[in-house]
């Protein structure tokens, strides 16, 4: 197979065309080639790959990627190259989510490898230090060891300014959102309101969809004041269903949404459970 290359110019032209037509931009995570193929056929604009999605496909919670149970960047690069890219027709572009704080990898080399495999976009959630509570002991230990948001900003800036890649910034707090947009000026910014609730491995932090929308809009206003041209998408927390995503579109000033569990883990859990239950209730005819 030959992977179709999609240039930064083509990607941005398509996204801005949708924005001009008032059509939502859709970014979706995929932990397997099958899910990626189905998402592309459904019309998503971007397939993002990261170790959390790969773990999620194995029935493990997304944020288990925060624990050093694997080489996050190797896992992401391997399955993107072997599972995701061969499954796609080139209608959706692929964004690789990398761990910019990997002390054993040179980010320039990783980004060059991304471009070699046909990936022309990168994000910083692979995992991101932004997810760790700032007042926690583990945050202080990690930052003292050199695991910082600055490294993530530097990678995004390198991707955009020197390597002509589409940079997608992501943060879990308003403070980090401002720092990423100010320091990296990503083409797209996603505010992550928290782990998506629902299903076997979801996490409910108590937020309603109204809470999620209000929190997201507050961040949108802050980052738009820094860069009025940034494409804004929201993700996580109470945004579990299409109805929730519609609420986000109606009650925020963003340009779209990022789906993860809501178009991958949760539909798979429901569909497989329903089909398996239908088979396991079968009986021999008398």
The per-residue pLDDT for range 43-98, each reduced to its tens digit, is 999 999 988 777 777 777 666 666 666 788 999 999 999 999 999 999 999 999 99
The DSSP letter of residue 43 is T
pLDDT value of residue 216:
96
Q: Does residue 202 have a pLDDT over 60? A: no
Query: Considering the domain boundaries, does residue 3 fall inside one?
Result: no
CATH number of the domain that residue 84 is part of: 3.20.20.70
Q: How many helices (H) and strands (E) does the chain have?
A: 11, 8
pLDDT digits (tens, 9 = 90+) for 169-197: 999 999 999 999 999 999 999 999 877 65
Q: Mean pLDDT, the chain, as a whole number?
A: 91
Q: Is residue 229 part of a domain?
A: yes
- Eight-state DSSP code of residue 163: S
For residue 24, tell me if it sits in a domain. Answer: yes
- Band (3; pLDDT cuts 50, 70, 90): confident
Quote the number of domains for the chain: 1
Flag whether 270 is in a domain. Answer: no
Neighbouring residues of 113: CB distance < 8 A, sequence distance ≥ 6: 77
Contact of 92 with 47, CB cutoff 8 Å: yes
The pTM of this model reads 0.92
Give CA–CA dist 255/154, Å, rounded: 25
Query: Does residue 217 form part of some domain?
Result: yes
Cα 105 versus chain centre, distance: 21
Q: What is the pLDDT of residue 259?
A: 92
pLDDT score recorded for residue 245: 94
* pLDDT given for residue 1 in this prediction: 73
Q: CA–CA separation, 281 vs 168, rounded Å? A: 46
Q: Which H or E run contains 82?
A: none
* Interhelix angle 209-226/242-251, nearest 10 degrees: 50
pLDDT, position 190: 97
Residue 135: is it exposed, middle or buried by C-beta count within 10 angstroms (0-12/13-18/19+)?
exposed
CA dist., res. 284 & res. 272, Å (int): 22
pLDDT attached to residue 59: 72
Query: Does 137 fall in a domain?
Result: yes
Residue 279 falls inside a structural domain: no
Percent of the chain with pLDDT over 90: 76
Most confident segment among 190-194, 224-228, 235-239: 224-228
The whole domain housing 123 covers 8-265
Length of the chain: 286
For residue 250, being part of any structural domain is answered with yes
Determine the Cα–Cα distance for residues 113 and 238; give it in Å rounded to an integer.
35
Cα separation, 234 vs 250, whole angstroms:
12
């Amino acid at each position: 197979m030959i992977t179709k290359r999609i240039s930064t110019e083509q990607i941005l032209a398509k996204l801005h065309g949708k924005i001009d037509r008032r059509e939502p931009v859709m970014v979706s995570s995929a932990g397997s080639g099958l899910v990626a193929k189905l998402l592309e056929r459904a019309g998503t604009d971007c397939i993002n790959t990261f170790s959390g999605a790969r773990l999620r496909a194995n029935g493990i919670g997304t944020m288990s990627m925060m624990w050093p149970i694997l080489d996050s960047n190797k896992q992401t690069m391997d399955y993107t190259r072997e599972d995701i890219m061969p499954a796609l027709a080139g209608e959706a572009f692929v964004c690789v989510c990398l761990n910019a704080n990997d002390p054993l990898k040179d980010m320039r080399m990783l980004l060059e490898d991304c471009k070699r495999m046909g990936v022309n976009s990168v994000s910083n959630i692979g995992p991101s230090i932004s997810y760790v509570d700032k007042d926690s002991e583990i945050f202080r230990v990690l930052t003292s060891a050199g695991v910082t948001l600055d490294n993530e900003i530097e990678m995004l800036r390198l991707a955009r300014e020197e390597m002509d890649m589409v940079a997608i910034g992501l943060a879990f707090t308003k403070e980090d959102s401002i720092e990423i947009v100010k320091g990296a000026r990503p083409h797209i910014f996603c505010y992550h309101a928290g782990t998506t609730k629902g299903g076997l491995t979801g996490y409910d932090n108590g937020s309603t969809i109204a809470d999620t929308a209000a929190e997201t809009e507050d961040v949108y206003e802050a980052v738009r004041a820094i860069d009025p041209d940034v494409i804004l998408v929201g993700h996580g927390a109470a945004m579990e269903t299409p109805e929730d995503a519609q609420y986000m579109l109606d009650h925020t000033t963003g340009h779209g949404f990022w789906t993860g569990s809501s178009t991958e883990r949760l539909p798979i859990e429901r569909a497989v459970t329903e089909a398996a239950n239908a088979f396991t209730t079968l009986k021999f005819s008398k």
